[in-house]
Structures are given as structure tokens and as C-alpha cells.
């Protein structure tokens, strides 16, 4: 969503079709932000698909990926930073490892599940 290290900043949810970029905030943490508003962290729901563009050459070589890749936003199980991405080849890295200036677009947001609604149906009295 928004890594703990970004909680001190203003934040807002991601929007479908917007363009973001990995940005180094004044705390030193990397997160997603709109190019025109680098002081507001953009929070992405886990399991959201992102298109990354302008991946640094060192990242491409280390992970065996291209300059533009479709990834899934994930919560990592270990490390100081938990927001990360999973590439189609299964490799996962923290957003911190992407570096600044990687463009990210959300082609389609995940639809929220409809709230659970329980319908009360009175049972017939089995004694009658």
C-alpha cells in the first residue's frame, strides 16, 4: 500500500491510467508519486498490475527483464521495506531497489470486493 517509511507524508490512493514515478522522498525512502506532486505518496493496493517503464540498465541485467515490464505490486515478507514488485519471471524486488525515475502506470485498478451481506432467513420451528 504505502510503506511504513512514507507514513509521515501526505498520501492518496492510486488512480487508473495515471502516470507515476519512483521518487526519493526527503526521508530517503523511495515511493510512488505523481510527477507534478512529488511530496504526496501514491498508495497502490497489493496485487495491482503496474506497467513499469524506464527500468535502469543495472536492474534489467540483474533481473533478466526489459526496459518496460508488466509487474504485480506485492508486499514483501522480509527486509526493512515491504512494498515491492513481482516480475513475470517470478523475481521480486523492493521499490527501493528500482531507483528514482522509473515510470509506473496502472492500466486497470483491482475492483474492491463487494461488502459481505448476510440475509437473515428465519428458520421454521422444527417442533411445529
58 phi and psi angles, rounded to 5 deg: -65, -40
- 3-state secondary structure at position 96: helix
pLDDT in tens, 88-97: 999 999 999 9
- pTM score: 0.79
Rounded mean pLDDT, 7-34: 90
What is the model's pLDDT at position 120? 39
Helix or strand run (H / E) with residue 62: helix 57-63
- The number of beta carbons lying within 10 Å of the beta carbon of residue 91 is 13
Residue boundaries of the structural domains of the chain: 4-105
What is the model's pLDDT at position 117? 38
3: confidence class by pLDDT, cuts 50, 70, 90: low
Amino acid at each position: 500500500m504505502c510503506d511504513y517509511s512514507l507514513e509521515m507524508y501526505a498520501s492518496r490512493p492510486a488512480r487508473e491510467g495515471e502516470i507515476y514515478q519512483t521518487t526519493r522522498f526527503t526521508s530517503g525512502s523511495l515511493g510512488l508519486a505523481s510527477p507534478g506532486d512529488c511530496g504526496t505518496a501514491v498508495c497502490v493496493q497489493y496485487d495491482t498490475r503496474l506497467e513499469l517503464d524506464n527500468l535502469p540498465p543495472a536492474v534489467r541485467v540483474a533481473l533478466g527483464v526489459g526496459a518496460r515490464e508488466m509487474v504485480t505490486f506485492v508486499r514483501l515478507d522480509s527486509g526493512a521495506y515491504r512494498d515491492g514488485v513481482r516480475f513475470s519471471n517470478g523475481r521480486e524486488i523492493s521499490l527501493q531497489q528500482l531507483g528514482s525515475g522509473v515510470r509506473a502506470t496502472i492500466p486497470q485498478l483491482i475492483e474492491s470486493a463487494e461488502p459481505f451481506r448476510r440475509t437473515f432467513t428465519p428458520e421454521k420451528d422444527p417442533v411445529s
